[in-house]
Amino acid sequence: MTAPVESQPTESLSRRLPPVAELTVASLVLVVVGGIFMASYFPRRPPLAVPISLFIASGILVVVGMVMLSQVHDFAWQTFTLVGRWALLAYVLQAGMIEYAFVRNHASGAPLVVVTLLLLLFAVDPPLIISFTVARYQST
């Protein structure tokens, strides 16, 4: 039988960080709801008030999270950037494929602009969540 190992909380686990991941997940939820709402109407022209409202609320959450994160000085920014770049590349490719599907299905005009804006936030949210979560547990 092995003895239990007592672990001391490390510096990275005990420090208080802003709720960036929580804000960005809420933003991602709003983007997904807006995208599903838009997709449910195609090929007909969807009403745009709801998805535009969801886009604005989602954008505000992301900006608030980024501003809060920019105020943190003792943070593993190098790790955040390294992980964020690769995750951003992956999600930009995914958003591009989804955009292509909408264009291929003859989306155009204002609905296509709204879908594109929602997909831009979709491409930013998960990389921000992933890179913040990885960097928060790295020592600076």
Residue 55: pLDDT over 70: yes
Among 39-43, 60-64, 89-93, 113-117, where is mean pLDDT lowest? Answer: 39-43
pLDDT tens column, 77-122:
999 999 999 999 999 999 999 999 888 877 788 888 999 999 999 9
1-27 per-position pLDDT tens digit: 555 555 444 555 567 889 999 999 999
Domain ranges in the chain are 19-136
- What integer pLDDT is reported at residue 93 of this predicted model? 96
Q: Residue 128: its pLDDT value, please? A: 96
Structure tokens given for 58: 């989602």
- What is the mean pLDDT of the segment spanning 22-36? 95
pTM to 2 decimals?
A: 0.84
Q: Rounded mean pLDDT of 26-38?
A: 94
Instruction: Flag whether pLDDT at 65 surpasses 50.
Output: yes
